[in-house]
Homo-oligomer: A and B are copies of this chain.
Amino acid sequence: MDNKYIITIARQFGSGGRAIGQKLAEKLGIDFYDKELISLAAKESGINPEVFESVDEKAANSLLYSLSMGLYSFSSGFSAMGDLPVNDKLYILQHKIIRDLAAKGPCVIVGRCADYILKDHDRCISVFIHANMEYRKTRAVEVHNIDKDRAEHIINRTDKSRANYYSFYSGQKWGLAENYNLCVDSSKLSEDQIVDLIISYLEIKDK
C-alpha cells in the first residue's frame, strides 16, 4: 500500500511490540526507530550515547525542573538545558527528533511518548501493544533470555518504569486505551497477524 502514516508503537514489556513495529516498517518499506533515537539524540547533542542509554525511557527523579523552559529553546541551541537532569535532556532531544522525523515522512516509532508528542499530527496513528502476563513471561524467557523465576519481576519493573516515564512527561496514564488510536492484545493474534491488522487499519482509514 502507499502508506503516508507515522505509526507510533507503545508496548508492555514482553508483548512483542518492538518486533511488531519492526515487521510493520519492513512490510510498509518505511524507517523504524527504537534505540536508533538514542544514537540520533547523542549525535545531535554531542553527549555520550552510553549516558543516554542508561536513562532511556526513565523519568527524572526530580520534579523541580520545568519542562516548558527547555522544550521550546531549540532554536538557540542546547545551552539552556545545562542544568537539567540527563533524563530530561534526552526527552527534550527525542521530542525534537520525533517531531522532525514525523515532518520528514512515514515511519514507525517505538516508545518514548511518541504518541503524546505527535498527538496533534494529522497523519499519526498511535498503537499500544499489550498481552497477558503468561504470554509475556514466556516471551521474556524465549526472546529476551530472562531467567524464568525473575521474568515477572522484570516485566513489572520495566512496565512501571515506562509508565512513570510516560506519565512524567505527558501527564497521561500509560496503557489507558483512550490515549491511543488502536490497542491490540498480542496474546490473541500472532505478530504477523497484528502487522496485517495495523495495515488493514491504514487501508480502511484511506478508503
Contact = CB atoms under 8 A, between A and B. Distances in A.
Interface of A: 12, 125, 128, 130, 132, 175-178, 180-185, 188-189, 193, 196-197, 200-201, 204-205, 207
A116 to B, nearest CB: 14
24 contacts: A125-B188, A130-B177, A130-B178, A132-B178, A175-B177, A175-B178, A176-B176, A176-B177, A177-B180, A178-B185, A180-B183, A181-B184, A181-B185, A181-B188, A182-B182, A189-B201, A189-B205, A193-B204, A193-B205, A193-B207, A196-B204, A197-B197, A200-B200, A200-B204
Contacts of A130: 177-178
How many copies of this chain sit in the oligomeric assembly?
2
Nearest to A132: B178
